[in-house]
Amino acid sequence: MVTPEKENALAKLGEKVALVTGGSSGIGRTTALLFAKEGAKVAIASRRQQEGQNVVDEIRRAGGEAIFVRTDVSIADDCANAVDKTVAAFGKLDVAFNNAGVEVFGKPLADTDESTWDFVTGINLKGMFLSMKYEIPEMLKAGGGAIVNMSSTYGIVASAFGGSSYHASKEGIIGLTKAAALEYAKQHIRVNAICPAFVATAMVETFLEETGMTDQIKAFHPVGRLGTELEMAQSVVFLASDAASFITGTALSVDGGMAAA
């Protein structure tokens, strides 16, 4: 019988080492803080150095261990360096939350510039490939690990908001996640994705205020509200933990019912 104490212990990350790309703000920051709270040593990989260092300082003030590595996930050398620095600091890599990404909406497909397509897919999809390319070998050395990739509800359903490159990149992440999960399942590396709908990050809140679309966006979600950063972070921590030991190749909708509507 699993007691409440043992059940809670399953969700802990113990002395695991976690790498978070895009960890300087929003869902990445909140997840990094929760990883640390659950006992993990955390590497923050982000393009924004000051914001990333602020997250590191916050973790350290709370008694945790963390480092910052300036990283552009669209650059192979940066992804390799983020993993190398993580292992150099903490000795191994157990968990990765590949969260770095961009959003571009507004123009229909035929009006989308090639440069926009390359920018979005270069960070969202190529960046996911490069992150896993360098994370997986270290996890193999550690005897296994858990990867959680950031996709989107818009990787499952489409919209007419002029985001063809975003939709393509986020659906591509789901395919990449499933393929990697199958390739490394027998080597004890689990690979999953989360698919959030609209989350009340600072960026989204600003967008809603500027456009006056709060009621319209909330209506997309059958539960009648936006998600929170903490709800996304809790989903990531669950998938990264031993509590999800039988889950791999899954794209978990964390969307208030949006994809089911």
pLDDT tens, 71-117? 999 999 999 999 999 999 999 999 999 999 998 888 999 999 999 99
Q: How far is the C-alpha of 70 from the C-alpha of 43, rounded, in Å? A: 10
pLDDT at 5: 47
Using CA atoms, how far residue 180 sits from 6, 28, 175, in Å, is: 30, 22, 9
7 pLDDT exceeds 80? Answer: no
pLDDT at 2: 42
pLDDT band at residue 6, thresholds of 50, 70 and 90?
A: very low
Mean pLDDT of the residues in the chain:
94
Q: Give me the helix-helix angle, 164-184 and 127-141, nearest 10°.
A: 20
**Residue-wise burial string across 127-157, b where 16 or more C-beta atoms lie within 10 A, e elsewhere:** bbbbbbebbbebbeebeebbbbbbbbbbbbb
Those residues with Cβ within 8 angstroms of residue 93's Cβ, 6 or more apart along the chain or in another chain:
17, 19, 83, 86, 87, 135, 138, 139, 142, 145
| DSSP for residue 162 | S
pLDDT at 9: 44
Over residues 8-34, mean pLDDT: 88
User: Is 132 strand, coil or helix?
Assistant: helix
15 pLDDT exceeds 70? Answer: yes
pLDDT at 230: 98
pLDDT at 16: 97
Decide: residue 81, CB within 10 A, 0-12 exposed, 13-18 middle, 19+ buried: middle
pLDDT at 83: 98
Q: How far is the C-alpha of 145 from the C-alpha of 128, rounded, in Å? A: 16
Those residues with Cβ within 8 angstroms of residue 91's Cβ, 6 or more apart along the chain or in another chain:
17
Over residues 16-31, mean pLDDT: 97
Over residues 26-41, mean pLDDT: 97
For residues 90 and 207, the model is more confident at 90
| Domain parsing of the chain, residue ranges | 4-253
pLDDT at 161: 84
11 pLDDT exceeds 70? Answer: no
pLDDT at 12: 75
Q: Which CATH class is domain 4-253?
A: alpha beta
Model-level pTM?
A: 0.93
Q: Which amino acid is residue 58, in one-letter code? A: E
| DSSP for residue 185 | G
Closest CA to 146 of 43, 246, 36: 246
154 assigned to active site: no
Active-site residue, selected from the candidate residues 134, 154, 166, 184:
166
